[in-house]
């Protein structure tokens, strides 16, 4: 129909996920995301709209179907809970669903992952 995208959206989300998981939400700047994805500013904003929206897509991809408590995905969940969930209901909803998947061990699984930051 028109000029095609030069990137694959899923790949970009996966690259952004790595950056958010490693740095956390606030500490991960747009420049960090540009570096991680190889995109230019305008392209990132055209495709995703805002930092918060990028994170929402990252989180949905990580915690949606096929969520299996990989370390990186737990880091994203912890970040979402600590930095966003209390003031962002859609993010909180995604978190709730993932936590239901974890069942009664949710607290221990998350706490154990938190403690991994000491090693």
Partner DNA sequence: CTAGTTATTGACTGTTTAGTCAATAACTGC
Partner DNA sequence: GCAGTTATTGACTAAACAGTCAATAACTAG
* Binding map of its own copies across residues 89-108, x = CB under 8 A, - = no contact: ---x--xx--x------xxx
Contacts of 39 (CB under 8 A, 6+ apart): 7, 12, 33, 47
Q: What span, in angstroms and rounded, lies between the C-alpha atoms of 102 and 67?
A: 9
Exactly one of 9, 10, 26, 97 binds its own copies (CB under 8 A); that residue is 26
Q: Which is nearer to DNA, 2 or 118 (CB)?
A: 2
**Distance in Å, CB of 78 to its own copies, minimum:** 6
**35 is an interface residue for its own copies by CB under 8 A:** no
Question: 47: which 2 tokens?
Answer: 């495709």
Phi-psi category of residue 66: left, alpha or beta, with phi > 0 → left and psi -120 to 50 → alpha: left
Candidate segments 32-40, 46-54, 61-69, 74-82, binder of its own copies by CB under 8 A = 74-82
Q: Give the Cα separation of 32 and 20 in Å (integer).
A: 9
Q: Which residues bind its own copies (CB under 8 A)?
A: 24, 26-27, 78-79, 81-83, 85-86, 92, 95-96, 99, 106-112, 114-115, 117-118
């Amino acid at each position: 129909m028109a000029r095609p995208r030069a990137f694959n959206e899923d790949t970009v989300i996966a690259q952004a996920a790595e950056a958010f998981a490693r740095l956390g939400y606030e500490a991960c700047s747009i420049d960090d995301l540009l570096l991680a994805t190889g995109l230019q500013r305008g392209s990132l904003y055209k495709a995703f709209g805002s930092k918060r929206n990028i994170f929402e897509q990252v989180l949905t991809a990580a915690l949606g179907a096929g969520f299996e408590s990989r370390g990186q995905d737990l880091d994203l969940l912890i970040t979402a809970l600590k930095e966003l969930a209390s003031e962002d209901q859609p993010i909180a909803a995604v978190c709730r669903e993932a936590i239901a998947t974890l069942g009664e061990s949710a607290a221990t699984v998350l706490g154990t992952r938190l403690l991994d930051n000491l090693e």
